[in-house]
Each structure stands twice: as structure tokens, then as C-alpha cells.
Amino acid sequence: MGTTRTSRAAVRVLHGTGVVLFIGMCLLVLAQVVARKFFEPLVWSEELARYTFIWVCFIGWVISTERKSHIRISLVTDRAGPRLKTALGVFGDVAVIVFALIFALNGWRLVNNNLDIETVTLFFGFWVVYLIVPISAIATIVIATCGLLANLAGTARNKEVVL
């Protein structure tokens, strides 16, 4: 029961972070356009909006993995029997884990390579921008591993979660 509550809270935090960053990115772009038209341009806003967009994309990767809403061709799995459906689910989860593991390792290298490089107009280093790569990859590995275990136990949900 505690694990379920913890996982629901983690998903809420993930979704909330994505929403806040997306709204912040939209407001940054709007402020940039208004300031450029009517006032002095906000030099830093374009750079921060770009970095926020990167974070939103990687958070979206984790959310879509959690909801099973990535693009997929389900022609074979829809017509497959239970054993083949389970095998394809296991294969898909393992592929996601391998892909995310590659992202986590290379993302960590990217963070380490940019520890001493500052952004052009902002007050933080590039490592902050790249930190989302290993974070989102690790979160995806956790989600995909839970999906893999559910597939192996025969309790996996294979349909997309729709709001």
C-alpha cells in the first residue's frame, strides 16, 4: 500500500513539474515577444526558454513511458496470443531499458563534461541543462523495469493510459 501511494505521489510530482515547466516556457516566450515589441528585449529569456523546452521534452519522455503512450505499431500484438503478447511486451520493455541505460550513461558523461562551462546569459552552468538526461533515463529505467516485472508476472497493462 505504501509503495502504491509513493508511486502515485511520484507520478503527481512528475506531471506537476512538467506542467509548471511548460507553462513557464510559454510565459517566457510571451514575455520575450512583448518585451521585444514594446520595451527592451529580454536577452536571457530566449536561452532559458530553450533550456526549459529541453527539460519539458525529457519529462515528456518519462510521462509517455509511464502512460505507455509512445508511438507503437500494434498490428502484431493485437492479433497475438497471450504468450506472444507477453514475449513482445518483455522484448519492448528490455529495449526501452537498454535505450534508457545508454542515455543515462552518456547523459552522465555529458553532465561531467560541462561542469565548468557557464551558460551565455544565465547564472548557472550547462551541467544543469544536461542533468535532465540521466535523471529522465533513470526514471524511465525504473518505470520500464516495473513494466517488465508486470509482463513477466502476467499483470501488465498494455493499453495506453488516456486522461
- The CB-based long-range contact list for 34-41 (8 Å cut-off, 24+ gap) reads none
CA atoms of 94 and 135, how far apart (whole Å): 19
Model pLDDT for residues 113-135, shown as the tens digit of each residue: 999 888 888 888 889 999 999 99
Sign of CA dihedral 140, 65, 97, 110: negative
Model pLDDT for residues 58-75, shown as the tens digit of each residue: 999 999 888 887 777 777
pTM for the complete prediction? 0.82
CA atoms of 22 and 19, how far apart (whole Å): 5
Model pLDDT for residues 6-49, shown as the tens digit of each residue: 777 888 888 999 999 999 999 999 999 999 889 888 888 888 99
Structure confidence at residue 158 as a pLDDT band (50, 70, 90): low
Calculate the CA 122 to chain-centre distance: 24
Model pLDDT for residues 84-100, shown as the tens digit of each residue: 888 888 888 899 999 99
